Structure 1
Amino acid sequence: MGITMKQLLVLAITTCVLTYPALAADKCNPQDKAALLRIKSQLGNPSDLSTWNASTDCCGGWKGVSCDTDTQTYRVNNLDLTGITLQKATSIPPSIGDLPSLNFLTLSQITNLAGTIPNTLTKLTKLRYLYISHTSVSGTIPDFLSSIKTLVTLDFSYNKLSGALPASLSSLPNLVGITFDGNSLSGQIPSSYGSFSSQFTSMTLSQNKLSGVIPTSLSNLNLAIVDLSGNSLVGDASVLFGAKKNTQKIALAKNGFAFDIGKVGFSSNLNTLDLRNNGISGTLPQSLTQLKFLKRFNVSYNSLCGQIPQGGNLQRFDAYAYAGNKCLCGSPLPSC
């Protein structure tokens, strides 16, 4: 007996119903899903994480969660909780350490995120990028971070961190930069920071309470970006300069640095030089006129003297960039 059209239609519908669960299977690793649900609970079940539902696939639409689809292991490798709203002061969830395949962790712009950086992060042996910024996280930058050898970037800017810079960070073989601006870090820059690997190119420590002299070991670094503005650092900062370096930005404003600017060399790639409010002396060197990419420049309120070199980009900046020096003269200031 032949199959009627009605029977074929019923068979097709039945087949779709039976195969749909397989197509819509939960790809999320069950241990990762359980860890994420614990994280949600430890954060006080914020409404911003309403998509974190035990009945749905965490790799298919949970806010801030990404999974490894390249290897098809579907382990959670990226957690970005930027901007979530917490109803009360809450610590960083310790269960974040239960996501062993995490490469990226971002906890940024979370006002009520408080407490200290938990040592459970040491379980994240694949973590490469750690961003904890614009929060109320306090305490010190922990030494245990040096045990996460995969780290590439550390950004702890604009928190409430205090205490000394951990000298052990220089042992991280893959680290390319640290960003610790806008905290209350104190003490000296460790001399060990001169032994960062050749990949290390960015050090920004502005708006802290750092003091003392810059270690001469930093002359070993070829930094593209260095920002030490707004601290209480003193002495000779000439070790940060060099004509053979690849430096693009040097910001040393509002410290107590004192050295002869006429004796330093400048990277041909320099686009930002901010030295205002220090005790820097000497005469501005003619080599500054050869900086083709210079877009930001300020040497005001130092102890500079002599004529401002004419040419290049130096006359693009107004008198404010040169004001408050001992005896600096020439355009855009009054003539000598």
Structure 2
Amino acid sequence: MENTILLILFLASCVLTPALSELCNPQDKQALLQIKKELGNPTALSSWLPTTDCCSPTWPGILCDPTFRIFLMELSDYNFNLSQAHSIPPSIANLTYLDSLSLTRIPNLIGPIPSTLTRLTRLKHLTISHTNISGNVPHFLSKIKTLLTIDLSNNNLSGNLSPSLSSLPNLSDITLNNNRISGPIPDSFGSFANLLGWRISRNRLSGKIPATLAKLNLAFVDLSQNMLEGDASVLFGTWKHTRYIFLSKNSLAFDSGKVRLPKKLEGLDISRNRIYGRLPQGLTALKSLRWLKVSFNNLCGEIPQGGSLRRFNASSYVYNKCLCASPLPPCKAY
């Protein structure tokens, strides 16, 4: 009888020990297993098993916080590959402690961004890039007030920019490069409270750059390769801390001689536009300037000499109306 009792206790301990040692929250684990199912049970997630701890290193793409809640999900081509097309799993919204969500370089990820993501009330970093997701840049992202960064680059997103995005109080960086986003830049985008980086190159934006953007103090702005027109001088200013301004391959037209450059500017590309006048004042005073492209415009006048401009050859200036002086041919004497 005593031996029988000891055997029962031994078997019970074998069953209970894994459960007692498991750190992962049961609700999070259930959500992860459902996500795996919604993605078609890919082989890359074969180690996501009901019998193992989801806070352990055997669960790729997952990290737990000190309270053993899932705070990071990062699935990419390095650890993940879908054999068939699937949409973004709605069950991701059940990981309510997520701080960072990253789905990158998954070409078989299709469909729109699910509105269930609004339940992620702690989410700070959202990255969905190099996929085939489609639809608009969702207006409902403005409901996730904790967001600090949004990267939706290199997808098949279309439609217009949502004015409501500017209501995100803490957003510091938004990247939407290489999609099919069209229409104008909303006037409301001048109301971002803490935006520092804005990248939306290689899209189909059109119309004029709103005057309201003059209020922004961006560190990095890239509006290149769109169909924007008119005056972009609102993006400049000596009081701003902007380091990079990339506006190439648009239809912008303004007098660059009246522009006042940010003092810490490191990169300026206004090439392939319809910009006229002289080169911006203060170019030679920019000690940190590392990149300059003003080619293929209607600029005129003598190229300033000295300072950081010694770094740049003729390719930075060619195909303008009448720019002259080194490194281009000398100015003509009249």
Q: Does the TM-score normalized on the shorter chain lie above 0.5? A: yes
- TM-score (ref. length: structure 2): 0.92
Q: Which residue of 1 aligns with 2:65?
A: 68
Q: TM-score, normalising length from structure 1? A: 0.92
Q: Distance in 2 between matches of 1:293 and 1:55?
A: 56
Deviation at 1:188, TM superposition (A): 0.3
Distance 1:221 1:20, change over 3 A: same
Aligned counterparts of 1:282 and 1:116: Cα–Cα separation in 2: 45
The correspondence for 2:269, drawn from 261, 274, 291, is 274
How far residue 21 of structure 1 moved from its aligned partner, in angstroms, is 2.4
Aligned-pair CA distance for 1:272: 0.6
Structure 2 CA distance for aligned equivalents of residues 155 and 189 of structure 1: 18
> 5+ residue gaps in structure 2?
1-9
Shift of residue 22 of structure 1? Answer: 7.1
Query: CA offsets, 1:154-200, max 9 Å, x none?
Result: 10000000000010001111111110000000000000000010x21
Question: Which residue, 74, 77, 81 being the options, matches 2:71?
Answer: 77
Distance, in Å, in 1 between the alignment partners of 2:135 and 2:266 is 35
Paired residue for 2:41, among 24, 30, 45?
45
How far apart are the structure 1 equivalents of 2:107 and 2:130? Answer: 7
**Cα distance, 1:89 vs structure 2:** 1.1
1:307 corresponds to which letter in structure 2?
E
| CA apart distance, 1:291 | 0.7
Instruction: For 1:286 and 1:177, locate their aligned partners in 2 and report how far apart those are by CA, in whole Å.
Output: 29
Q: Which residue of 2 aligns with 1:313?
A: 308
Runs of 4+ deviating beyond 4 Å: 17-20
Shift of 1:20: 9.6
1:248 aligns with 2:264: no
Please name the residue that 2:162 is paired with.
Answer: 166
> What's the CA shift string for 1:125-146, capped at 9, x where partnerless?
1111000000000000111111
Residue 221 of structure 2 aligns with which residue?
226
Query: 8 Å contact 2:260–2:281 — kept in the other structure?
Result: no
RMSD, matched Cα: 1.5
Q: Which residue type is aligned with residue 47 of structure 2? A: T
Stretch of structure 1 that moved more, 51-60 or 231-240: 51-60
Deviation per CA, 1:227-259, whole angstroms, max 9, x where unpaired? Answer: 000000000000000011000000000000011
- Secondary structure of 1:44's counterpart equals coil
In structure 2, what is the Cα distance between the partners aligned to 1:128 and 1:223? 20
Q: Percent identity?
A: 55
In the alignment, is the contact (CA less than 8 A) between 1:230 and 1:254 conserved in 2? Answer: yes
Residue number in structure 2 paired with 1:136: 132
CA–CA distance in structure 2, aligned partners of residues 150 and 286 of structure 1:
40
- Aligned-partner SS, 2:165: helix
| Number of positions where the alignment pairs a residue of Structure 1 with one of Structure 2 | 317
